[in-house]
Amino acid sequence: MINVLFLCTGNSARSVLSEALLNHHGGGRYRAYSAGSSPTGQVNPLTVKTLSAHGLISEGYSSKSWDTFAGPDAPVMDLVVTVCDNAKGETCPIWPGAPVQTHWGYEDPAAAEGTEAERLAVFERIYSEIDARIRAFVATSFDKAETVAERRAIASNI
């Protein structure tokens, strides 16, 4: 099982969407988690609505600190992916197991303005972008790569 941690600042939209999509598409080969550097404390309701609209599990997610995954009792990650530019630029904790780290940036749908329908359209667009990347990722041989260099190359080129 390959453990993957998706990081964002607020852990309310992009990282949760990524977690849900990898757990959905991972075929039992991947276990995804998400966290934030400054968690909002709740998952954005439009994240939940978007997941539900696509038939994915939309309950049980929480907005939590990345410190949850830096402690000695945390699952050891094989890959840590920042999904927002703010988290990419922050100094991350030292992750147990020295996982491969990469950046897959997306626009923040939680920052969208307008009516609920307009904001939901932004969530749908970002969902589609993440979904395409996750599908491409699970189609790779990341889980079979034998070296850190191979894993880094695969994760960075998705």
Whether 118 is a known active-site residue: answer no
Distance (Å, whole) CA 121 – CA 2: 32
Q: Is 106 a catalytic residue?
A: no
Catalytic residue among 84, 110, 130, 138: 84
Structure tokens at 111: 């920052």
Give the Å distances, CA to CA, from 41 to 11, 100, 123, 130. Answer: 8, 27, 19, 22
84 is catalytic: yes
The position carrying tokens 């390959």 is: 2
How does DSSP classify residue 32? Answer: E
Count Cβ atoms below 10 Å from residue 142 Cβ, excluding itself: 22
Q: Which member of 8, 77, 100, 122 is catalytic?
A: 8
> From CA 111, how far away is CA 120, in angstroms rounded?
11
Give me the catalytic one of 48, 56, 70, 92. 92
Sign of CA dihedral 12, 16, 18, 21: negative
Q: Catalytic residues, which ones? A: 8, 84, 92
